[in-house]
Amino acid sequence: MDVEEEESETASCASEVPENDDEVLAEPDVVETGEDQPDTESDDDDVLYQINDIGPYFGKNGAVQWSRFPLDIGKTRSVNKMTGEGGVTPHARSRVMDMPDCIDLFLTSAIKESIVLHTNEEGNRRYGKTEWVPFDVVELDAFLGMLLLQGVHMDGTVPVSELWSEGEGKKIYQACMSRKRFAQITCSLRFDDSTREKRVELDKMTHVREFFEMWSLSLRTNYLPYESACVDEQLFPFKGRCGFKQYIPTKPRSKYGLKLFLLCCCRTSHCCNIQLYTGKPVGGKPEKNQGKRVVLDLVDYLGDDSGRNVTTDNFFTSLALGEALLKKNISLIGTIRKSRPEIPSAFLPSKYREVHSSLFGHTSDFTLVSYVPKKGKAVTLLSSMHLDADIDESSKEEKPEIVMEYNRTKAGVDTLDQLTGNYSCRRKTSRWPMALFYDILDISALDAYIIWCEINPGWNSTLPTKRRMFLQDVSKKMMQRQLLRRSTTPNCSEKKSK
């Protein structure tokens, strides 16, 4: 979706859905675009005056002055020079010998041991020690492999009873574990101990806190974005009970779900950092300047001399964010809301402005551009990456270079969302920690595939279905030890429980 289309789409209104209808939580995370934020309410005479004037533009608050002409034409800036190398880190390269090793980069042995420990506690509590068979890492790998394989074959919506039926079932599932055991593991899978009822009063995501932090650390450790990264939101489908469930009507996969903020590499769509949105703090007030805080948190691990560029949409972009990123030697490009006080009135939509025309405003560190894609519409972008007023005059739309760069780098998170949705392992669940676990497994599988292809660039390079082949191979290899165990001891789980 080009930048002019973003101005006309319906607003992404992310509002919390409380468990009790009486409680309505107003959160400051509404992502407004064209129709949700009316075009111009400004005085057209004032717009005409500012357009025809030869002096600088002034923001609506009068505090920001924008020059009509570039101040530092041709100036070389270190902020656009990336330091270090992007892509797979040496730490990750040294640990990858086979496909399952790529998954193990993200679902580490410490994560697996933690899941095994807490799942055994829940299994013993739920089923009793006489019926519950001790869960181990071998069986966990097999369970994860089965979920990945179900995503490949789009079996996530197929009832478990059908997957294990004699007539229509699939032999590999039946060979790996019994239907009863698969259901037991699904019901008992836990990521923390049973003392969460006390901790949840202070921490909404205490159910997954330790697990999620270990996993997000692995994202930052194993991969660095190339010269451009983007920050955006993801809504993972979920309709069960959750105190921070979100409703975003413009999302294509589902309008209800868990909202996460992602930092992705624009070149590969690899997820490099992530945050789960849990709403306002318990007993606290709604957060102000949330977009700025999220971006700074996500890029913090890149250090203060990164030299990369970050692309954001109008929920995140602000002059204050751009100034904070420049201190970290990171440039910013993104659409900016027309309600921001630093935007001059002349940059708002107006019936007097010509189609495909552009207005530029410059400071020593930023360039502001307002482009008219159609009559009565205007989209405004802020960039600390560009200092000149360059326009692509070879195309009939005559788009500014800032708009072209934004369109090239804005889709990293959207592409990730589409790719994970194609082979999602998600199954129906009423527990939000389990829904989050499915999303984590989907993202880990995609990141593992990207790392495998970067380390082995010649692997099936001409095949259009190589990601499907990767998921099939890695899932079967993860199930291999469990299949060998069951082949030597048939129905071992049922025998142990007697």
Q: Are 369 and 383 in contact (CB under 8 A)?
A: yes
One domain for residues 62 and 202: no
End-of-domain residue from the set 389, 413, 437: 413
What is the span of the domain harbouring residue 358? 44-84+225-267+287-413
CA distances (Å), origin 411, targets 249, 323, 331, 386: 19, 23, 17, 20
Encoded tokens for 338: 């027309």
Indicate if 428 and 310 belong to the same structural domain: no
- pLDDT in the model for residue 39: 45
**Whether residues 197 and 298 fall in one domain:** no
Quote the percentage of the chain above a pLDDT of 90: 63
**Could you tell me if 362 and 242 lie in one domain?**
yes
Question: 300 in a domain, yes or no?
Answer: yes
Inform me whether the pLDDT recorded for 18 exceeds 50. no
Tell me: do 316 and 353 sit in the same domain: yes
Same domain? For 127 and 71 the reply is no
pLDDT interval class at 41 (50, 70, 90): very low
Q: What is the mean pLDDT of the chain?
A: 85
pLDDT in tens, 82-125: 777 889 999 999 999 999 999 999 999 999 999 999 999 999 99
Tokens describing residue 223: 């991969």
Residue 126 lies in a domain: yes
Residues 6+ apart with CB under 8 A from 431: 240
Alpha helices in 43-178 (DSSP H): 44-52, 90-93, 99-104, 109-127, 137-152, 160-163, 171-176
pLDDT at 270 over 70: yes
The pLDDT score that the predictor gives to residue 34 is 36
- Note whether residue 441 is domain-resident: yes
Residue 450 binned pLDDT confidence (cut-offs 50, 70, 90): very high
Residue 194 lies inside a defined structural domain of this protein: yes
389 with 429, same domain: the answer is: no
Tell me whether residue 33 is in a domain: no
Rounded-to-integer distance, Cα 28 and Cα 486, Å: 53
- Say whether both 364 and 308 belong to one domain: yes
pLDDT at 6 over 60: no
SS3 content of the chain, % helix, strand, coil (to 5): 40, 15, 45
Residue 162 lies in a domain: yes
Res. 73 pLDDT band, cuts 50 70 90: low
**pLDDT band, residue 52 (cuts 50/70/90):** low
Would the pLDDT of 35 be above 90? no
Average pLDDT over residues 199-223: 91
Q: Please tell me the predicted confidence (pLDDT) of residue 60.
A: 85
Residue 43 has pLDDT above 90, yes or no: no
| Average pLDDT of the segment spanning 282-288 | 78
Q: How confident is the model at residue 80 (pLDDT cuts 50, 70, 90)?
A: low
Is 60 exceeded by the pLDDT of residue 27?
no
Weakest-pLDDT range from 29-43, 50-64, 161-175, 410-424:
29-43
Which of 391, 413, 435 is at the close of a domain?
Answer: 413
Question: In total, how many domains does the chain have?
Answer: 2
Main-chain phi, psi angles of 311, to 5 degrees: -105, 130
- Whether residues 311 and 344 share a domain: the answer is yes
Could you give phi then psi for residue 219, rounded to 5 degrees? -60, -45
Q: Has residue 180 been placed in a domain?
A: yes
CA dihedral 412, 418, 419, 424 (to 10 degrees): 140
Helices 209-222 and 109-127: angle between axes, nearest 10 degrees? 160
User: Residue 302 carries which DSSP code?
Assistant: G
pLDDT of residue 286: 81
258 and 397, same domain (yes or no) = yes
70-79, 291-300, 465-474: least confidently modelled range: 70-79
pLDDT of amino acid 29: 37
- DSSP lists the bridge partners of residue 297 as none
Task: Record the tokens describing residue 145, joined without a space.
Answer: 């492999």
Residue 430 belongs to a domain: yes
62/54 Cα distance (integer angstroms): 17
3-state secondary structure of 310: strand
Domain end, chosen from 413, 438, 473, is at: 413
Q: Are residues 50 and 177 in the same domain?
A: no
Which band of pLDDT confidence, cut at 50, 70 and 90, is reported for residue 250?
confident
Quick: pLDDT tens for 158-207: 999 999 998 888 899 999 999 999 999 999 999 998 777 778 777 888 89
Residues 378 and 355 in one domain: yes
**465-469 contacts: CB < 8 A, separation 24 or more?**
467/419, 467/423, 468/152, 468/423
